[in-house]
Structure 1
């Protein structure tokens, strides 16, 4: 790995900004295993909120929540869930309670969210009664609203990926019928279904939880983790009480219920703020927060689509009150190795390759463990990139257009690669692989996925026009994931900004079809937002619009060539055809991604003027 890498691998396999063995050990004891494996970052900072006033704590970031714990960790508290977040801002100010170098280097992050909690200090009253050990603080001094802010721009922090709670992996998804039916509906005559003979059997594994923290033995108060209703509890149920609960235990239960209330609960919601002051000049907490929040709203929006939710049913449609079956890590590794060996066999037929990749794609969407395994061996990733290079660019039809087989195979490869990026930000092997040999594999991915969107028009192949459009959608999603990687990698490497957004766009700049590719993505945004549709955008279309806006913003902010091209060729279309009210009417308000997408559209219109 490049010498300039400042992140290190913690003992649990998660990437944490600065290794803190004591904190990581505490998190292992306090969190469920599946949650701890997906801790993205941990960083010390000064906290100001309804419950804390200028308290030096650790902020711990997972895929779904921000946690807080004391600087010498004793208790773990959920500060905010991403489902409640309405904005994350980097505030441009100098905190008066800091001095010297800390004040000059401080990064002030403001998280805006909604809560059902009343504005009273119930939280601290309960803590005082329980003697939980967290410092008692006065009500926080609210920061004036006129502070200048830097909001939602790609330079200051835009991400990364998405994810699902991994619980189940099914080999061929009970049978090969699901894959075959999907492929038969998409494949032209040359790609006929091939029966997949393997069977992913379901196997329930009881997860044994490590011992609880000695400083907080009460399971009602430890962690205070408000699990969504669809998430399985991975630890055994607590034993029945043999004695009446004490006053302290009753208070702990009340606090637990308060913190577990979902955003859909009763009561009037109010806006609240969580202020994090990172005192390190090299802090990347804001980048991690933007990445995690974007990933969460993307995942939550996608799960509103019935077909997508059914594909991920193992993690999202579990029966309430019933523990879903869990595939063990060992069995997942065994089946993944088996599938990998079949994909890498010599002389594999194109039809078989297509169906095996379909199987890998759907299985990866259902199981994050498989995605982590994917990055731990370079063989399969290199094979997918090579397949894309050969399929899309290695051969052409006599007319010069892409064949249906080429587009189908290329699309499933690109979609599979995009899935592998989701929820694997904390997997150190991913960064190792993508940064090796000065980002050689990443460069190959970038150059392979860009194609000429006008090829089919010149070839008059009407059927393949639809397939090419689907490929271009998939290519945009994968490029979005790579840009998220670029933002997360900013500041990790000391030389040439390896894997940064600037570096990624420099790599693709010489591609002969880059300008046409970017123009196509911009035209799709105009097409969606120029006229009021007969019906709202579906969840998948809403996510794609968000990803396209982020791609265009990256081009405008990080590449002078692409910025000049977009302003020269697309400024008039955006000025006269795209109206912000159209975006508001096109995107349903109940989509988690709608609010952020509207802000991206407004910023895009501003930068294109």
Structure 2
């Protein structure tokens, strides 16, 4: 939940609202609420109303001030863009006008059920990830349907499954579903032509003529063809009906508001997770397979299991094989249990141990790596990256990383960078090592992406020169002997996947890595002159001529991450081509 600590980025806790949310949502949903803030709300149906904005990892909710009802306003699966508007709202007083933060959420509005579209609407959830399917079923009360993705584990964690997260009874404070202009999706049965063999045909009906039978058969065939074409068009990402965009405007009357940061972070997290869930292998790995009626794992039980795992990790003389197996268990459990990620940041010993192990694996080896070192380093970096997901409001995370002027964060950053061109040892061995190194460099980019997201939050909350900001992060990395080759490798990978050399569509996982790499390159171009100059001098021609003009062909429209990635590519090209 959103709690405050001196010097953190978190929202101030409101005891009355907190109690209301706890009473009206299931515990698993309540625990996934990231922040809330009072704002003036403007939409198509809400006109300058002072309300609480409640943010979870899937949805933006609105509730009155003081809270009486809870309404789903925007699901992240429908969001097109979230931006900070630089204006002075004329409906605010002069004092409030100057300190106001105006946030605009552009999203695809729900379409009302229409005649002739029932067959499309009945199947419109096909091919979508479970998180997106949840949005199709959302109501406008606290009982909004959510899903929590489970992750299988080869350990005791597997035995603890999450049940349905929402209360089965409707809250007494369920709002009028028209109160915020949100339309309820009422399913309509597809219209079926009367069947000659149907038992519902009245006995007194006259027999159908041969001409009528031919007409009926033609109608049925046409309907089947239309259904097949609809599915084919949807599968290829073709929009049959033009989508209507809507806007939700939030005015936070506070210079200290963190809502925009939480919105951006939640949206980034959502599009990454939703895109990865489109991969059948990833989805199969991440979907809980045990009995859904098993009891919910308690916070106490989670803490107990994490304590056991931590003590085993930190024991003296642990073998590399045992360490690897324990880290696999930790990574799997962290994927599945958000409370465990919070416990990780409250236990400084485990984080410091992982950073120390990463330093021992990769540093001081002059580019000579072994398979064991690369495998273990990749697992450590992947585990650390997962721990950053959806823990922005965990005060212990900021406290740990900012302690002693960012000492642990500095070590993590410097341990992360490695030489992307290891020394040759022979064709076969080199090929195997290069594959492992490529996997590590993908994981390193993902963790650096998380640290840069933290830096963006810090830059907005404090001075741009403050530690943990984006500028500070890049300055910490600047003395590293392999930084330029590391950033150059990330740029080469972006050019490669967007050039004619790779003609196939990107997989969901490849699209996520591309998005993360683009965020990294854009940060280098924006916040560090040396890195910006290096990218311009070495990759200007590649981005001018090798990156295809129609990069949309590489990123399927059905990927939630495609549109934000295309915007990043456009920004990178604009900046890198500057003289």
Q: TM-score with structure 1 length normalisation? A: 0.74
Match in the other structure for 1:224: none
SS of equivalent residue, structure 1 residue 490: helix
Say which of 84, 90, 95 aligns to 2:78: 84
Question: In structure 2, do the counterparts of structure 1 residues 165 and 118 end up closer, same or farther at CA, with 3 Å as the change threshold?
Answer: closer
- RMSD in angstroms over aligned alpha carbons? 3.3
CA distance in 1, matches of 2:273, 2:162: 26
Question: In structure 2, do the counterparts of structure 1 residues 252 and 592 end up closer, same or farther at CA, with 3 Å as the change threshold?
Answer: closer
Q: Does 1:543 align with 2:512?
A: yes
| Maintained 8 Å contact 1:9/1:19 | no
Q: Does 1:308 align with 2:274?
A: no
Question: Which range moved further: 325-334 or 544-553?
Answer: 325-334
**CA apart distance, 1:293:** 0.8
Question: In structure 2, do the counterparts of structure 1 residues 442 and 166 end up closer, same or farther at CA, with 3 Å as the change threshold?
Answer: farther
> What number of residue pairs does the alignment pair up?
491
Q: Does 1:438 align with 2:405?
A: yes
CA distance in 1, matches of 2:175, 2:66: 26
Say which of 569, 572, 578 aligns to 1:601: 569
CA distance in 2, matches of 1:259, 1:433: 45
Q: Does 1:531 align with 2:500?
A: yes
CA distance in 2, matches of 1:256, 1:323: 35
Match in the other structure for 2:154: 172
Say which of 459, 480, 489 aligns to 2:449: 480
Match in the other structure for 1:552: 521
CA distance in 2, matches of 1:531, 1:467: 25
Q: Which runs of 5+ in 2 are unaligned?
A: 114-145, 188-233, 235-239
**CA apart distance, 1:36:** 2.1
Match in the other structure for 2:371: 404
| Maintained 8 Å contact 1:66/1:80 | yes
Say which of 257, 261, 272 aligns to 1:287: 261
CA distance in 2, matches of 1:249, 1:378: 42
| Maintained 8 Å contact 1:169/1:326 | no
Alpha-carbon displacement from aligned partner over 1:488-514 (angstroms, at most 9, x marks no partner):
223444694221111111111111111
| Maintained 8 Å contact 2:9/2:393 | yes
**Larger C-alpha radius of gyration, 1 or 2?**
2
Match in the other structure for 1:585: 553
Q: Does 1:365 align with 2:365?
A: no
CA distance in 1, matches of 2:402, 2:317: 30
| Maintained 8 Å contact 1:84/1:113 | yes
| Maintained 8 Å contact 1:17/1:41 | yes
Match in the other structure for 1:448: 415
Match in the other structure for 2:359: 389
Match in the other structure for 2:313: 343
Alpha-carbon displacement from aligned partner over 1:498-532 (angstroms, at most 9, x marks no partner):
21111111111111111110000000000000116
Question: In structure 2, do the counterparts of structure 1 residues 570 and 26 end up closer, same or farther at CA, with 3 Å as the change threshold?
Answer: same
**CA apart distance, 1:383:** 0.7
CA distance in 1, matches of 2:312, 2:394: 25
CA distance in 2, matches of 1:280, 1:54: 16
| Maintained 8 Å contact 1:508/1:514 | yes
SS of equivalent residue, structure 1 residue 8: coil
**CA apart distance, 1:19:** 2.9
Alpha-carbon displacement from aligned partner over 1:393-419 (angstroms, at most 9, x marks no partner):
1556xxx52111111111111111111
CA distance in 2, matches of 1:577, 1:539: 23
| Maintained 8 Å contact 1:375/1:433 | yes
Question: In structure 2, do the counterparts of structure 1 residues 434 and 166 end up closer, same or farther at CA, with 3 Å as the change threshold?
Answer: farther
CA distance in 1, matches of 2:419, 2:158: 42
Match in the other structure for 2:272: 298
| Maintained 8 Å contact 2:276/2:512 | yes
Q: Does 1:517 align with 2:486?
A: yes
| Maintained 8 Å contact 1:7/1:16 | yes
CA distance in 1, matches of 2:297, 2:23: 23
Q: TM-score with structure 2 length normalisation? A: 0.78
Question: In structure 2, do the counterparts of structure 1 residues 201 and 537 end up closer, same or farther at CA, with 3 Å as the change threshold?
Answer: closer
SS of equivalent residue, structure 1 residue 72: coil
Question: In structure 2, do the counterparts of structure 1 residues 238 and 115 end up closer, same or farther at CA, with 3 Å as the change threshold?
Answer: closer
Alpha-carbon displacement from aligned partner over 1:148-173 (angstroms, at most 9, x marks no partner):
xxxxxxxxxxxxxxxx9657576525
Say which of 306, 316, 332 aligns to 2:302: 332
SS of equivalent residue, structure 2 residue 165: coil
Q: Does 1:202 align with 2:172?
A: no
Question: In structure 2, do the counterparts of structure 1 residues 579 and 522 end up closer, same or farther at CA, with 3 Å as the change threshold?
Answer: same
Q: Does 1:8 align with 2:4?
A: yes
Alpha-carbon displacement from aligned partner over 1:55-88 (angstroms, at most 9, x marks no partner):
1222121111111122322222211110111111
